[in-house]
Copies of this chain bind each other. A is one copy, B any other.
Amino acid sequence: MAAELTPHELIAKHRPTLDQALEAIRTRAYWSPHPEHPKAYGENGSLSAEEGKAAFEALLGDRVALDQPGTDAWVGGEVSPFGIDLGVTYPHADIDVLLPAMKAGQRAWRDAGAETRAMVCLEILGRISDRTHELAHAVMHTSGQAFMMAFQAGGPHAQDRGLEAVAYAYVEQVRTPDAAEWTKPQGKRDPLTLDKRFTPVPRGIALLIGCNTFPTWNGYPGLFASLATGNAVLVKPHPRAVLPLALTVRVAREVLTEAGFDPNLVALAAERPGEGIAKTLAVRPEVRIIDYTGSTAFGDWLEANARQAQVYTEKAGVNTVIVESTDNYKGMLSNLGFSLSLYSGQMCTTPQNLLIPRDGITTDAGPKSYDEVVADLAKSVGGLLGDDARANALLGAIVNPDVKARLEAASGLGEVALASREVTNPEFPEATVRTPVIVKLDGARKYWDGADDEAAYMSECFGPVSFAVAVDSAADAVQLLRRTVHEKGAMTVGAYTTSEEVAASIEEACLEECAQLSLNLTGGVYVNQTAAFSDFHGSGGNAAANAALCDGAFVANRFRVVEVRREA
């Protein structure tokens, strides 16, 4: 069967986009080919808002057929955090059939070369982009993100991160030329001359272990980095967030087929409730690359046990914001309040510990005591979320009962500066919607009324919980920041200060402990958001993650280069 999509057509269509992506990762200026506004979709083959919603609704209660080899059952059981029982089922694979089938197409995929692979990846991303509205609903009803966030983070921003990974993968592979002639002078004798050919070869099968909260955003970088470097990719979604990745796999298989490649280069590994197949898959000898986002415990297990594979993990960390002084008190409060509220604090990048000097801070609105800062922040969050419609649009739903339980327990950890509030979602009355709690703790106090403040702020409390930790001084704050990043890792660090000296000491702490720092954000950029092509997500150098999105290290070891040399 002739391919419907030839490399020539794909290059004509996508090479300019790849070139722009390559330029963006060099300059790290703003760039994105994926529109953020829902109204930008609906033409040129992309689904409109209504079409996307209808497409999502048509999926409910049905099978997502993928035509994968070795399908031995249909499994599923996703219930939306907004209360809908999705009723979608997915093929369950006999791994001993599926894995060998995934290897069958690898030779042709390898031989296609880096550019054609990149073009096929861009076609997949383009088709996903066309279905952004459909995927937005799928992300919303698996992660609990409110629609607008599910749309943007699960759609264009995730696609950006996928494209970024393709760009890094491409440039890494073409650093070595396809061929070289090597001529070494030998004085008066004839030179030695060799013809050399260099081929990027894949490691094998890559396993993507998806997460519940950002199935596409956290999944696409590894998926596309592995595919673009010639590997087959087995996608093992989180059991509560299968649909977005199953739709992604379906699109990838369609495009691979149309481009003349084996669709089994991308496959889905859905599981029965409680089956826990990640552990089985992770140590299969065929699996040579693993990308994982999730708990520290399982990430550590993978790093220790999946020794046959390159393991890229994003685990848990404890994110800190130092509040030392500001020349824009109102902007600081509103920026911080938004960061704490967005998606009910269920982002790996949400600040947890707010370190505030117990003697207060200086601001453009006069000196503020520790209590005042905390009260004003509580007021800011309260105001932001005072209107239920806006609260629902920002908070989304609590993703699972564990988060709810942690939230409820948090108010027992210290004095509550802002109590969590139940919000009703009129469209989805079964959704668990909660505003964040802010709890006061003391950095100098180990035991107080039976509570161990240090135990609280030195642990990740994933969800809408933050701690306003009183510290002795700026120096004490920096010291605690260092210790927290060193022992627990951090995806983000924020700081507010008007002192160049304090800023310098915070920067130095971040450089030494390897954490990404946002300084004095008071406007429309938040510490918990990073932009593809410009910001690194995580540093890969502290305990929260062993990789960053996206850099050379994220792609360079997903393939190797084989050289064949002969006399010219």
**A residues in contact (CB < 8 Å) with B:** 25-30, 107, 110, 172, 175-177, 180-186, 192, 194, 196, 198-199, 201, 203, 303-304, 307, 507-508, 510-512, 514-525, 531, 534-536, 539-541, 548, 551-553, 556-557, 560-567
Contact = CB atoms under 8 A, between A and B. Distances in A.
Contact of A557 (B521, B535, B553): B553
Contact of A26 (B175, B185, B511, B564): B175
A540 B560 contact: yes
B511 A562 contact: yes
A27 to B, nearest CB: 6
Contacts of A507: 564
A176 B565 contact: no
B177 A27 contact: yes
A567 B175 CA distance: 35
A514 B201 contact: yes
Nearest to A186: B524
A535 B565 contact: yes
A32 to B, nearest CB: 9
B560 A203 contact: no
A203 to B, nearest CB: 7
A552 B172 contact: yes
A523 B556 contact: no
Nearest to A516: B563
Contacts of A196: 28, 534-535
B516 A194 contact: no
Contact of A182 (B28, B182, B557): B28
Contact of A517 (B182, B183, B551, B564): B564
B556 A552 contact: yes
A57 to B, nearest CB: 30
A187 to B, nearest CB: 8
24 contacts: A28-B177, A28-B180, A107-B508, A107-B512, A172-B552, A175-B551, A180-B534, A182-B531, A201-B514, A203-B541, A507-B564, A514-B562, A517-B562, A517-B564, A519-B564, A520-B566, A521-B567, A523-B567, A525-B565, A535-B563, A540-B557, A548-B560, A551-B556, A553-B556
B548 A561 contact: yes
Nearest to A534: B182
Contacts of A27: 177, 180
Contacts of A561: 536, 539, 548, 551
Contacts of A563: 516-517, 535-536
B177 A522 contact: no
Nearest to A198: B28
A30 B548 contact: no
Given A182-B531, A517-B562, A26 B567 contact: no
Given A26-B175, A539-B561, A540-B560, 4 more contacts: A182-B531, A510-B562, A536-B561, A557-B557
Contacts of A557: 540, 553, 556-557
A29 B565 contact: no
A111 B483 CA distance: 22
Given A514-B201, A524-B192, A567-B525, A552 B175 contact: yes
B562 A516 contact: yes
B177 A564 contact: no
Contacts of A564: 507, 510, 516-519
A536 B557 CA distance: 15
A176 B551 contact: yes
A274 to B, nearest CB: 29
A267 to B, nearest CB: 20
Contacts of A180: 27-29, 534
A297 to B, nearest CB: 15
A381 to B, nearest CB: 21
A525 B182 CA distance: 11
A336 to B, nearest CB: 14
Contacts of A516: 562-564
A295 to B, nearest CB: 18
Nearest to A173: B552
Nearest to A110: B511
A521 B183 CA distance: 15
B30 A182 contact: yes
A202 to B, nearest CB: 9
A119 to B, nearest CB: 22
A518 B552 contact: no
A171 to B, nearest CB: 8
A416 to B, nearest CB: 32
Contacts of A110: 511
A508 B110 CA distance: 11
Contacts of A186: 524
A179 to B, nearest CB: 9
Nearest to A520: B566
Nearest to A168: B175
B28 A522 contact: no
Contacts of A184: 30, 531
A90 B434 CA distance: 66
Contacts of A511: 110, 199, 201, 562
Top 7 closest pairs, chain A to chain B, by CB: A541-B560, A553-B556, A28-B180, A519-B566, A552-B556, A553-B557, A556-B556
